[in-house]
Structure 1
Amino acid sequence: MSVLWALGVLLGGGLLVVVSPIMLLFRARRAQAKWVAVAGLVLAFFCVSKWDGAVQSEAIAAGFSSADDRRIAREAGFTDPEAWRLEKRAQAEARVAREAEERVARAEREKVEAEKAAKRAEYMAQIAAANDAACGQNLKCVADKAWAEASVYCQDYVERRAKFQFEWTDGFLERKFSRYRWHNAKEQQVTFIGDKVKFQNGFGAWQNMIYSCDYDTKTKTVLGGRVEAGRL
């Protein structure tokens, strides 16, 4: 089917669609008008499909892969299908080369960022090591750095020393361990001490307790401790 024939049939279907509303003005023709409209729509749809097929066939016969391919070629200024194929191949090769260059550049950037991150980590490790070395045998420095974590582990240690019920008496912002001393200065082990807990005895009476916790700041472990009645 030629393109011109398909166009003619499309126009004929369009006329049927236009004529049918006019027929509705006449009572005797209203029934026929509905069928004319339906027939016109079916014919228009048929013509559109035929038109598209004809356009596609013409483009393929001209040497293009599709009607859209020929349209894009014309927009790019190409009418020769062979020249257009060569141009598309060149564009594809350029795109592949560009993507490869981008991958190489991205890999190089990632490598540089990784090296920077490694240097930053090394520098921070050196700073941390220097701070630890400076802290060294300074009891206050070692205790202050370990106080928060030691309070968590040592609190559990103290609570497990209670035979019956226990009750902490420290305030919301008050430290449970108010004092400290060296347990082993060479190994940076500190004894934390406090008296902010009450233990219940076998008779149900409550008693204030003094507790101590020997904490290894390097291994972050509780080494032992003591709990006895009294106040600091």
Structure 2
Amino acid sequence: MGIVLGKIISWLLVALACLTAFACFSDSVIGGSLAIAAAVFFCPLSWKMLRRFAAQEVPTGAFIILALVTYFAGTGMAISNFDDKKQAVQQGFANLEDYQAANKLGLDAASYAKHLDGLAAVERQKAEEAKATQAKVASACRQDLQCWADENQFDAIMACKPAVQKLAKYDYEWTDGITSPIFSRLAWSEKKSGMIIYFGDEIKFQNGLGNFVRHTYACTFDPVSKLAVNVSAESGRL
């Protein structure tokens, strides 16, 4: 009779812990999780599995004590969070996180709002300084041929390569690779507008006899429109 009554009480405690977990989750995820854990420790069905896991005979009382400790820890945490939320609302904080952060700093709602405004102002200033630095670097790069050409090289390849290919009367064959870049020389076409002339000699055009002959090429690239505005080629090497 005593064993049956004990199991009935355990199942009632399981139900209580589950209901408590449901209520706790709105105020504390950790508190709700602890209440779920307490329900597991209260449950007679879990005792066998826990004993098997422990590889020894664990007294039922140990499970009950562990369940009670876990249960009260979870409910205590949830109650504490509930009280903190209530205090946060009463003192004019936007949320619990702000209330807890302000408490650590010893600030009231108004002072904490000023503190946040100050932090935001510092971040804005940092962003503006970073933007100004980037603009300065970009401006310096724009005046340097090598830097400006390197910055636009990918777009130049995408625009110039098909334009050079169209100059072939018959077939063509590219010879560029890791050690032989498609462009090997540079020049300003118009520095004011930023247009660059890319030179290279990594292509062979097929002639009327079927032979592939090395050619040099020049491609004027406009970084604004991303277009090859002029392209030419002639036999030979740079």
Is the partner of 2:87 in helix, strand or coil? helix
Structure-2 change in CA distance of 1:180 and 1:52 (3 Å): closer
Question: Which string of whole-angstrom CA distances, capped at 9 and with x for unpartnered residues, describes residues 123-150 of structure 1?
Answer: 2332232233334544344334433442
Distance across 1 between alignment mates of 2:225 and 2:178? 28
Question: Which string of whole-angstrom CA distances, capped at 9 and with x for unpartnered residues, describes residues 170-198 of structure 1?
Answer: 34222211111111111111100111101
Structure 2, unmatched stretches of 5+, are 17-38, 40-67, 90-94, 103-111
Structure-2 change in CA distance of 1:150 and 1:226 (3 Å): same
> Which residue number in structure 1 is paired with residue 97 of structure 2?
102
Q: Does 1:143 align with 2:103?
A: no
AA aligned opposite 2:97? E
Structure-2 change in CA distance of 1:90 and 1:131 (3 Å): closer
> Which residue number in structure 1 is paired with residue 230 of structure 2?
224
AA aligned opposite 1:102? E
Q: Which of the numbers 196, 208, 211 marks the counterpart of 2:202?
A: 196
Question: Which string of whole-angstrom CA distances, capped at 9 and with x for unpartnered residues, describes residues 67-91 of structure 1?
Answer: x9xx99xx89xxxxxxxxxxx9997
> What TM-score comes out, normalization by structure 1 length?
0.51
Aligned-pair Cα RMSD in Å = 4.4
Distance across 1 between alignment mates of 2:222 and 2:188? 10
Structure 1, unmatched stretches of 5+, are 1-9, 15-43, 57-67, 77-87
> Which residue number in structure 1 is paired with residue 163 of structure 2?
157
Q: Is the 8 A contact 2:84 2:96 kept in 1?
A: no
Distance across 2 between alignment mates of 1:209 and 1:91? 77
Distance across 1 between alignment mates of 2:138 and 2:79? 64
Q: What is the CA-CA distance between 1:102 and the residue it aligns to?
A: 1.6
Distance across 1 between alignment mates of 2:118 and 2:169? 60
Is the partner of 2:173 in helix, strand or coil? strand
Q: Is the 8 A contact 2:216 2:234 kept in 1?
A: yes
Q: Is the 8 A contact 2:180 2:202 kept in 1?
A: no
Q: How does 1:51-62 map to 2 (within 5 A)?
A: none
Q: Does 1:48 align with 2:8?
A: yes
Distance across 1 between alignment mates of 2:218 and 2:174? 15
Distance across 2 between alignment mates of 1:217 and 1:125? 22
> Which residue number in structure 1 is paired with residue 192 of structure 2?
186
Q: Which of the numbers 212, 220, 223 marks the counterpart of 1:214?
A: 220
Distance across 1 between alignment mates of 2:237 and 2:162? 20
Q: How does 1:18-167 map to 2 (within 5 A)?
A: 44=4, 48=8, 92-98=82-88, 100-103=95-98, 118-167=124-173
Q: What is the CA-CA distance between 1:230 and the residue it aligns to?
A: 2.6
**Percent identical residues:** 28
Distance across 2 between alignment mates of 1:115 and 1:161? 57
Q: Is the 8 A contact 2:152 2:223 kept in 1?
A: yes
Structure-2 change in CA distance of 1:201 and 1:183 (3 Å): same
AA aligned opposite 1:157? A
> What TM-score comes out, normalization by structure 2 length?
0.50
Structure-2 change in CA distance of 1:92 and 1:124 (3 Å): closer
Distance across 2 between alignment mates of 1:119 and 1:156? 45
